[in-house]
A and B are shown apart, each in its own frame.
Chain A
Amino acid sequence: MEKRVVFDNRWLPYLLVAPQLLVTFVFFFWPAGQAIYQSAFIPDPFGLKTQFVGFGNFEYLFGNRYYRESFLTTAVFSVLVTISAMSFALWLAVLADRVIKGSSAYRTLLIWPYAVAPAIAGVLWLFMFNPFTGIIAWMLSQMGYVWNHNLDGGQAMALVVAASAWKQISYNFLFFLAGLQAIPKSVIEAAAIDGASFWRRFWTIVFPLLSPTTFFLLVVNIIYAFFDTFGVIHTITQGGPQQSTTILVYKVFADGFVGQDLGSSAAQSVVLLVLVGILTVVQFRFIERRVHY
């Protein structure tokens, strides 16, 4: 799509794009170039000079058990966050769509956690599940279940998933509700006249018509779980115990800033860069399709 009408000016357009280009070059292309460059070097033990190793950092990375485990951890974490955040949100959206009176009040009460920072979400859930003082940890202990996510990797994973999903529900809810309200009423009424029950109507008519929204949210939630949950992990578990919650983004940070292993961290950045690239392409394909609907 192009504009038919344009202005004619020799220098103005360059002046207009200059600020954004400048910022993009200094804080995007320069660092990204650095990452790619550094991923091909390892520093000597004294940090005095670096040695070119080509793909050596990548070979080392994928040969590293912890890195491969981190991949698996990320996959498990993202799938759990995506499924729980989406299914709970869809359930709430279906209910809210059924309500005539007070639906805007419900919406208001359901959307605000979007505004809570992931790090704050981490703090809130950490507080509830604190093994010694947390209210939910205490309730669980009353039921005979010992909660200590500082020791149990499975519990740690459950906790970061819950905190991450909790924050994302509002977002999914908004999009599902908008999707549901965009479905023409006549289609559902026709199904009702055909004698389909509520749940049958939902699974045979509503859910398929909602599929563009669902696909879109799927991609957005995976991207969220991959990259935006750093704050949750960092406040609750710092990747532990025993790396059981070290997702890829956390590992880049941990190796680069805590471990000071710049070559490996840079190689990891490049791997993530490729991953984000793929996800973005997928996202755009879906969005493009959405536009044509």
Chain B
Amino acid sequence: MSGMVEKRGVGTWLTHAGLIFGIAVICFPIWIAFVASTVTQDDLIRPPMPLLPGPHFFDNYLEALLTGGVAPVWQMLLNSLVMALGITIGKIIISLLSAYAIVYFRFRFRMLFFWLIFMTLMLPVEVRIVPTYEVVASLGLLNSYTGLILPLIASATATFLFRQLFMTIPDELTEAARVDGAGPIRFFIDILLPMSRTNIAALFVILFIYGWNQYLWPLLITTEPSMNTVIMGIKQMLPTGDQTVEWPVIMATAMLAMLPPVLVVIGMQKLFVKGLVESEK
């Protein structure tokens, strides 16, 4: 684990102290948010706010979940979940299929297709936001799950990753499958998919977080409160100008909004790290 050589008394303690300080800095904003989500509005508008949690945890979280801002948070969480899963599963499926075609078949326009797909690596949705909005609007997909999900599926990262993975699978395995009588579809289902399952799971974690955390896109195309996702919905709750807002409810919403992806990262830490390191290679 450790690459350094000497580890003695004071040095070790300084190391731990430094790390604990770093963690404190990183965690402080979350702690403050958590505390704010357990107290009353009165506790917050007269600074300084308390630094230890208060007794109003359930009041605030229930109000957020059931009333929320323009839409109840439970509904926004549900929308976020549908969008995140849609993006994740959609990307994985279309990428698996196209990577399989590009690696395991020789066909006309193969390299052209590869480069067409590959070019999407270069363009995050933020860059082509206005024209994409127009296309989605002209297709009548505003305020729909389809409109939320489909444009964000057009990305090459996953295709590229699966292509790299398939290239490392030994040719002999494919040959053995052919000798065993497996055609292309059987080979894909019986051999390639099971062999890729850890990579698929790792990618699932990364893409789920990516999908859940989308902000600008839902902000643009969901004008109906019932279609809001939680990440953008929280923005609608923020003050504009000097008006006062229910900070405890906003902070409860913020905690709820980050809970699913944080749980995914911590719960599947190993897969997450693997997915992260590999998708950037």
Same complex for A and B? Answer yes
Give residues 85-137 of B contacting A (CB, 8 Å): 93-95, 97-98, 100-107, 110, 113, 116-117, 119-124, 126-136
Q: How far is the CA of A183 from the CA of B6 in the complex (A)?
A: 16
Contact A273 B128 (CB under 8 A): yes
* B262-281 at interface with A (beta carbon < 8 Å): 262, 264-266, 269, 272-273, 276-277, 280-281
Question: CB of B77 within 8 A of chain A?
Answer: no
Contacting residues of chain A (234-293) with chain B, CB-CB under 8 angstroms? 234-235, 249, 252-253, 256-257, 262, 265-266, 269, 272-273, 276-277, 280, 287, 290-291
Among A1-41, those with CB < 8 Å from B are 1, 3-7, 9, 12-14, 16-17, 19-21, 23-24, 26-35, 38
Residues of A within 8 A of B106 (CB): 6
Which residues of chain B are within 8 angstroms of A92 by Cβ–Cβ distance?
A: 18-19, 22
A residues 114-165 in Cβ contact with B at 8 Å: 114-121, 123-128, 132-135, 137-139
Most chain B Cβ neighbours within 10 Å, of A117, A118, A192: A117
From B116, which residue of chain A is reached at the shortest CB distance? A24
Residue of A nearest to B130 (CB): A256
Residues on the A chain within 8 Å of B135, using CB: 26-27, 30-31, 34
A257 to B51 Cα, complex, angstroms: 40
Closest to B49 in A: A135
Instruction: Identify which of B55-63, B194-202, B250-258 touches chain A.
Output: B250-258
- Asked if B238 lies at the interface with its beta carbon under 8 angstroms from chain A, I say yes
Does more than half of chain B's interface fall in helix, strand or loop, or is it mixed? helix
Q: B117, A115: Cβ atoms under 8 Å?
A: no
Contacts of A272 in B (CB 8 A): 127
Known contacts A220-B280, A228-B124; A21/B98 CB under 8 A: yes
Can you name the residue of chain A whose Cβ is closest to the Cβ of B33? A124
Chain B residue with minimal CB distance to A115?
Answer: B261
Pair B95/A20 contact, Cβ less than 8 Å = yes
Given contacts A32-B128, A257-B130, A272-B127, contact A99 B2 (CB under 8 A): yes
CB neighbours of B150 from chain A (8 A)? 23, 26-27
Contacts of B3 in A (CB 8 A): 97-98, 180-181, 183, 185, 188, 206
B45 interfacial by beta-carbon distance below 8 Å: yes
Which residues of B are found within 8 Å of A188, using beta-carbon distances?
3-5
- On chain B, which size bracket covers the interface? 35 or more
Closest to A187 in B: B3
Nearest residue, chain B, Cβ from A97: B3
A162 to chain B, nearest CB (A): 10
Given contacts A6-B106, A133-B247, contact A118 B215 (CB under 8 A): yes
State the Cβ distance, A112 to closest chain B Cβ, in Å. 5
Listed residue (A19, A27, A192) with the most chain B CB atoms within 10 angstroms of its CB: A27
The reply to whether the CB of B234 lies closer than 8 angstroms to some CB of chain A is yes
| Chain B 150-191 residues near chain A, CB threshold 8 A | 150-151, 153-154, 159, 166-167, 171, 174-175, 178, 183-185, 187
> Please, how many angstroms separate the alpha-carbon atoms of A262 and B105 in the complex?
43
Q: Which residues of B contact A198 (CB under 8 A)?
A: 4, 6
The number of chain A residues touching the other chain, given as a range, is 35 or more
Residue in B12, B49, B124, B238 whose beta carbon sits within 8 Å of that of A227 in the complex: B124
Instruction: Assess whether A110 is interfacial by the CB under 8 Å rule.
Output: yes
With A27-B150, A117-B231 given, is the CB distance from A269 to B130 under 8 Å? yes
Partner of A124, one of B29, B102, B220, B273: B29
- A-B contact count, CB below 8 Å? 317
Asked if A257 meets B154 with Cβ closer than 8 Å, knowing A16-B100, A262-B130, A269-B129, the reply is no
| A156-179 with Cβ < 8 A to chain B | 166, 169-171, 174-175, 178
Shortest beta-carbon contacts, A-B, top 4:
A117-B213, A16-B101, A31-B131, A34-B131
Chain B residues with a Cβ under 8 A of chain A: 1-7, 11-12, 15-16, 18-19, 22-23, 26-27, 29-30, 32-33, 36, 44-49, 51, 93-95, 97-98, 100-107, 110, 113, 116-117, 119-124, 126-136, 139, 150-151, 153-154, 159, 166-167, 171, 174-175, 178, 183-185, 187, 209, 212-213, 215-216, 219-220, 231-232, 234-235, 238, 247, 250-251, 254, 257-258, 261-262, 264-266, 269, 272-273, 276-277, 280-281
Name A's B-contacting residues (CB within 8 A): 1, 3-7, 9, 12-14, 16-17, 19-21, 23-24, 26-35, 38, 88, 91-92, 95-100, 103, 106-121, 123-128, 132-135, 137-139, 166, 169-171, 174-175, 178, 180-181, 183, 185, 188-189, 192, 198, 201, 206, 216, 220, 227-228, 230-231, 234-235, 249, 252-253, 256-257, 262, 265-266, 269, 272-273, 276-277, 280, 287, 290-291
5 contacts between A and B (CB under 8 A): A5-B174, A7-B104, A16-B105, A115-B213, A123-B250
A sample of 13 more A-B contacts (CB under 8 A), given A92-B18, A106-B23, A123-B234, is: A27-B151, A97-B4, A107-B269, A127-B250, A135-B49, A180-B3, A231-B216, A252-B126, A256-B130, A265-B130, A269-B131, A280-B122, A287-B280
